Structure 1
């Protein structure tokens, strides 16, 4: 960490800690376990305390790539944390449960409301995962399997065991899951335009805000991105689409649809801003993008799981507003 010049030093964690590895962390590398356990501590410091021998596993020195086992006792030395992290520790996220679509001992699927980030960061103090952890203090393990934009509602998976997290993330990485969204776009989407295969490039604006754009297929910075589109319903001068993503790029659906001349209603980053203002006066208050269906193989049994989250009332009412 950067040295403190003047003032009080950043607070330290409370003395030496002895942690017993549970089944949910068994098999992890020691460095990865510590990075998760010592949130907010720079990775360079984590590796330093491992190399110096301050971290012990069953009273012995260990390497960063040591695999911890259930029942192992890990000694953690006191570490200094940033003032920002100390503030989070002293003022944790308010506990909150979310509508449950599916839950067992391995995985939790919730229907995330729009306007709630999935995790803290980038100017957001906390998100879904921090609130869930506060609401379920007895839960030994809760981690996001994937992400949704803050403005997007719908199905979000949370792993309750490390084995489930690894298995589900492998499925997402290998494109073995099915994720279908409902999106209302401006104009009449051509029924024969069913596949969008356009590379995307992520970049930052001058103020540090993240943006994404379509680039040429030979652009070295482009990431291949594939979106499947099906017309579900014509609604006045708009089209309700069923959108399935084959790749999980940042803002993929929003950018692909907008770049094809049909931005999502209410999208404040890539949308038709004049149209958004006009619709806001008619009561359309949010982006019309909803994670509607999700299909995956259960991480323990391998059985096919198919989930669905219906349109929330505020989006169902949009269809009535614009068709009237």
Structure 2
């Protein structure tokens, strides 16, 4: 599965959140090196770690040592010998062969969970940024599933054995609200709600500034990026229907604070729509933006404040749905992570100071 970073995407395909797996077979990932990549990265392992979201540098190094990272036969120079410490020429096509998911089921792990609600049927949590939703190659442990199994001892076998209780996902780097089923009946009911989009979902993000209306709707199909299968791309004539409603909440000198309401839940939907369609990538989104360029525009004060934070400033703040068993209307709202709030507060103070000049 790949995050990385699906925006609350229902379990309808094997494409999720930066923790990609083919589940039953080896999976190919393909990347084409561009001149922009060569300017941005000095080493191939740095490029692959950020491009192949969800896979650690150690995991990728092990694949390289096993000859599972190689130059494609379709590359202009298929006999090129690549090195992890050196970027190959532009146009080079890199193939990564990812081994299949381990057949074993996930194991409980004592990982802290912020629980917003729980009954005998389901549990609602506030997922922290950096936590992968479920086990997959490169992330067999330390996931939300492992944490939930420790907390809820009886959900093993609910839904998919590798992803017990999971009915939707958030990207690894996206924080916010998720609901997990504790019973098979709740699982089936929640999957139906997500598949028919009978879910209330609001997100907020800090986004680089560009010209756009104060509110609007983005309706652009999304499909897998042909040059990088771990990324998505907005297309005009192909892909799955994707609709994102947006509203600008605050306008700052170089960036904006935005709210999003999803009508569909495609992989990386908000991140793709902001970056590809609005040309306004989310701050610190390494897949769809260039944080180094962003910090040059924002200034050294923002770079110091953010201080190496590695995840997009994207937060799933509202989740509302009808309880699949009790039919009670459920609605949860949580504020963004502390670093998000600090940057937002600083931006407002700076804005006020500029307005007072």
Q: Does residue 124 of structure 1 match 2:139?
A: yes
Equivalents in 2 of 1:84, 1:243: separation in Å?
33
Instruction: State whether structure 2 residue 266 is matched by structure 1 residue 246.
Output: no
1:305 paired to 2:330 = yes
Aligned pairs for 1:113-192 (under 5 A) are: 113-126=128-141, 127-139=143-155, 141=158, 142-188=164-210, 190-192=212-214
Structure 2 distance, partners of 1:224, 1:83, is 29
Question: Following the alignment from structure 1 to structure 2, what is the Cα–Cα distance between the partners of residues 197 and 41?
Answer: 31
Structure 2 equivalent of residue 233 of structure 1:
250
Helix, strand or coil for the counterpart of 2:198? coil
2:121 aligns with one of 89, 106, 110: 106
* Counterpart contact for 1:112–1:155, Cα < 8 Å: yes
TM-score relative to the length of structure 2: 0.61
Counterpart in the other structure of 1:314: 339
2-structure distance, mates of 1:41, 1:237: 42
Q: Structure 2: how far apart are the matches of 1:291 and 1:83?
A: 30
2: distance between equivalents of 1:297 and 1:153? 22
> Is the CA contact (8 Å cut-off) linking 1:97 and 1:132 kept in structure 2?
no
Look up the match of 2:12.
none
Post-superposition Cα deviations, 1:84-133, rounded to whole Å, max 9, x if no partner, equal 848x67x9463224101111111111000001100111421231012221
Query: Relative to structure 1, is the Cα distance of residues 267 and 161 closer, same or farther in structure 2, using a 3 angstrom cutoff?
Result: same
Q: Give the superposed CA RMSD.
A: 2.7
CA contact (8 A) 2:124 2:177 kept: yes
Shift, 1:204, TM fit: 5.9
Structure-2 separation of matches of 1:193 and 1:232: 9
Separation of aligned partners in 1, 2:303 and 2:247 = 29
Alpha-carbon distance between aligned partners in 2 of 1:205 and 1:297, rounded to the nearest angstrom: 40
Q: Does residue 1:269 correspond to 2:291, yes or no?
A: no
Tell me, in whole angstroms, the C-alpha distance in 1 between the residues paired with 2:202 and 2:100: 41
Cα offset, 1:311, TM superposition: 1.4
Name whichever of 271-280 and 309-318 sits farther off. 271-280
- Structure 2 residue 299 is matched with structure 1 residue 282: no
The 3 A distance-change label for structure 1 pair 310 and 166 is same
Quote the Cα distance in structure 1 between the aligned partners of 2:257 and 2:206.
4
Tell me how far apart the structure 1 counterparts of residues 292 and 192 of structure 2 sit (CA, whole Å): 41
Give the secondary structure class of the aligned counterpart of 1:268: coil
C-alpha displacement of 1:231: 1.4
Unaligned runs of 5+ in 1: 1-39, 44-81
